[in-house]
Amino acid sequence: MDVLAGLLEGPRARGAFMIRACFDPPWSVRIADEAPLSVMIMVRGTAWIVPDTGEPQLIRPGDVAVARGPDHYTVADDRAKKPHVEIRPGEHCVPLGDTPADQYRDLGRRTWGQSLDGAAEMLIGTYQARGEITGRLLDALPPLLILPTEVWDCPLTPLLADEIAKDEPGQDVVLDRLLDLLMIATLRAWFSRPEAAAPAWYRAMGDPVVGQAIRLLQDDPAHPWTIAALAAKAGVSRAALARRFTELVGEPPMAYLTGWRLALAADLLRDGEQTIGAIARRVGYGSAFALSSAFKRVYGVSPQEHRSPVA
């Protein structure tokens, strides 16, 4: 499985929050929804993204921004402007200060803000839940990253702009898949940048030996892998594979496999469609008991507790 193609293969976007936001100066919106990940595309005008911690970033038409939650931040036409409204969990919009309740309002299908022909327009997609596989890569991202249009002209912007206003059968599913494609394409473009600090296992995918071993483990985690079997498939000795894998990835092959299996299990548990026994077999454990023991050792909770967390 290609790492980026598989990034969102587990808990893919389901009912993601997708919206076109249109504003006229002065405007300022504080984002406190604590969503795990939001992607913003500037279509028209400019905006400042001001994290609670970190430097403000200016985005211009064509730029793509990714904000990693649960950190809060403000988006405004002026980096010094105090927020007029705050977006809280559940997309609940709360006016701040003396802001009139109707200053920021519903403007039509998946459109929100001040006016349809506002000076600033953004397309925004927000994931509602964080999956463990996704987290392996998202943890390597900065809280806020910007891809300027000079380094990456997002090919999905026109399609997303067209689809976001439609109301046809299956439209929510179409938008969810478009958000997945946008996220994968954005991350691929980001990790190709010299300033991106890609995780060790991601960089190792480019190695002819270790990259092949990682793909084998990811493609078939249920296989009873051993160092000897993996080395034979990769065409090297056991010692050479173990040494090179640990050097490039930061952990031995079997430790990486355990992490990958449990990450898959965590995603499948949240999906809720399979029994714990079926999930155990799918990710390479002989029984629900074996999976439970390994899962609790790493995550600190049982698979059932992970599936049904206490509110």
The C-alpha atoms of residue 138 and residue 127 are separated, in whole angstroms, by: 12
Tell me the mean pLDDT in the region 185-210.
Answer: 82
- pLDDT digits 0-9 by tens, 227-243: 999 999 999 999 999 99
Q: DSSP string of the chain?
A: --HHHHTTSSS--SS-EEEEEEE-SS-EEEE----SEEEEEEEES-EEEEESSS--EEE-TT-EEEEETT--EEEESSTTPPPSEEEETTTEEEE-TT--TTSSEEEETTEEES-TT-SEEEEEEEES---HHHHHHHTTS-SEEEE-TTT---TTHHHHHHHTT---TTHHHHHHHHHHHHHHHHHHHHHTSTT----HHHHHTTSTTHHHHHHHHHH-TTS---HHHHHHHHTS-HHHHHHHHHHHHSS-HHHHHHHHHHHHHHHHHHH--S-HHHHHHHHT-SSHHHHHHHHHHHHSS-HHHHHS---
Q: Which amino acid is at 124?
A: I
The Cα–Cα gap between 192 and 170 comes to 34
pLDDT at residue 214 in the model: 92
- What is the pLDDT confidence band of residue 11, given thresholds at 50, 70 and 90? very low
To the nearest whole number, what is the mean pLDDT of the chain?
A: 87
The tens digit of pLDDT for each residue in 182-194 reads 888 888 888 888 7
128 and 14 Cβ atoms separated by less than 8 Å: yes
Model confidence at 130, in pLDDT bands (50, 70, 90)?
Answer: low
Q: What is the pLDDT of residues 245-300, one digit of tens each?
A: 999 999 999 999 999 899 888 878 877 778 999 999 999 999 999 999 999 999 99
Please give the Cα distance from 26 to 82 (Å, whole number): 10
Q: Say yes or no to pLDDT of 124 above 80.
A: yes
Which of 9-13, 82-86, 151-155, 202-206 shows the lowest mean pLDDT across its residues?
9-13
- Is pLDDT at 311 greater than 50 in this prediction? no
Segment 21-37 shows an average pLDDT of 93
Both tokens of 263, joined, read 């990450």
- % of residues, the chain, pLDDT over 90: 54
- Residue 133 clears pLDDT 60, i.e. is over it: no
Does residue 49 carry a pLDDT above 90?
Answer: yes
